[in-house]
């Protein structure tokens, strides 16, 4: 998806949601719903402790998040034919920034070419190394036409529309990466008990090519619990999948179209217009 701006308030909301979701899975005791409420709504309630950590994360890291997002947006990580994340200078710089930020936040970092893994290990006494919580994001962006932008698409613009963070990838999906990393940092700061490793997966060709991901998954064991943070929905716990429709249009002449104009069938363009090719 190629949205250009994100409401600053939504960054905070996304951070809170990401953190709350993560903390409720790494710290099961966070879910402390009264039996009656749970039975009535079937929705777990989050503990005061989890809410406190979320408030802490937003209060402490709001400015740092914007700064980190500025840096990640500065790299034009659009796919370039014939180049890979290890040969395209923008991707090399982007990964270098992710590595530095991981080190600054005390998170582990592993570069697998098209996939970067950023992790926070479990700290529970009943540590099971094989257990992890996955957070799935992507670091590449759609192309942007600078002529259509008030400022450079790769310069985080906080002024053109006050309250919004405008830049290519702020919402899809670099804001999500920053959100997840600072959520992990807040969980670490507060020594939240976690019996699962939290592992942020950053894929680098989501907008262009899913084959390298398939190759990576052949030798990688994904978490059995995953959340996706992408675009306008801040946290998604269960993607509903996607569909791809291929049209075959018969080679008909204009006169044939005119002859059928009286039919009630809408024109092809009318059928196509609601569709787009976005893969989340
Ligand atoms: Zn996306």
* Gap from CA of 231 to ligand 1 centroid (Å): 5
Protein residues within 5 Å, CB atom, of ion ligand 1: 1, 172-173, 230-231
The pLDDT value recorded for residue 121 is: 92
Please report whether residue 161 resides in a domain: yes
pLDDT tier at 251, thresholds 50, 70, 90: confident
The pLDDT value recorded for residue 229 is: 84
Please report whether residue 191 resides in a domain: yes
Please report whether residue 273 resides in a domain: no
Select the more confidently predicted residue: 33 or 253. Answer: 253
* Gap from CA of 1 to ligand 1 centroid (Å): 5
Q: Read off the pTM.
A: 0.74
pLDDT tier at 34, thresholds 50, 70, 90: very low
The pLDDT value recorded for residue 231 is: 67
Alpha-carbon distance 229 to 125, whole Å?
29
Taking residues 214-228, report their average pLDDT. Answer: 93
H/E run at residue 52: helix 48-73
The domain that holds 71 is classified in CATH as 3.40.630.10
Taking residues 11-30, report their average pLDDT. Answer: 51
Per-residue pLDDT tens for 56-112? 998 999 999 999 999 999 999 999 999 999 999 999 999 999 999 999 999 999 999
* Gap from CA of 174 to ligand 1 centroid (Å): 9
Please report whether residue 45 resides in a domain: yes
Report the number of distinct structural domains present in the chain.
1
Please report whether residue 190 resides in a domain: yes
Per-residue pLDDT tens for 124-183? 866 556 789 999 999 999 999 999 999 999 999 999 999 889 999 998 899 999 999 999
The domain in which residue 154 lies consists of: 5-242
Please report whether residue 192 resides in a domain: yes
Please report whether residue 257 resides in a domain: no
Please report whether residue 122 resides in a domain: yes
* Gap from CA of 213 to ligand 1 centroid (Å): 15
State the Cα torsion 108-167-61-192 to the nearest 10°: -50
Per-residue pLDDT tens for 183-212? 999 999 999 888 899 999 999 999 999 999
């Amino acid at each position: 998806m190629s949205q250009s701006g994100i409401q600053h308030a939504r960054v905070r909301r996304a951070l809170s949601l990401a953190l709350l979701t993560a903390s409720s899975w790494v710290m099961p005791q966070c879910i402390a719903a009264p039996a009656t409420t749970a039975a009535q709504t079937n929705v777990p309630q989050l503990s005061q402790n989890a809410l406190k950590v979320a408030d802490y994360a937003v209060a402490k890291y709001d400015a740092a998040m914007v700064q980190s997002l500025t840096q990640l947006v500065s790299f034009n990580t659009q796919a370039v034919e014939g180049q890979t994340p290890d040969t395209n200078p923008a991707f090399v710089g982007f990964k270098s920034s992710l590595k530095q930020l991981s080190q600054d936040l005390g998170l582990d970092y592993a570069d697998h070419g098209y996939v970067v893994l950023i992790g926070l290990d479990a700290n529970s006494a009943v540590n099971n190394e094989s257990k992890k919580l996955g957070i799935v994001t992507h670091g590449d962006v759609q192309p942007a036409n600078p002529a259509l932008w008030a400022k450079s698409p790769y310069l985080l613009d906080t002024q053109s529309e006050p309250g919004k963070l405008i830049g290519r990838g702020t919402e899809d999906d670099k804001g999500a990466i920053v959100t997840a990393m600072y959520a992990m940092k807040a969980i670490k700061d507060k020594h939240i008990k976690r019996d699962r490793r939290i592992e942020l997966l950053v894929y680098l060709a989501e907008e262009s090519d899913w084959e390298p991901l398939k190759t990576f998954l052949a030798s990688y064991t994904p978490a059995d619990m995953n959340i996706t943070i992408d675009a306008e929905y801040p946290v998604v716990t269960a993607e509903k999948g996607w569909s791809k429709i291929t049209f075959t249009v018969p080679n008909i002449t204009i006169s044939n179209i005119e002859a059928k104009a009286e039919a009630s069938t809408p024109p092809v363009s009318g059928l196509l217009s609601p569709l787009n090719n976005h893969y989340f």
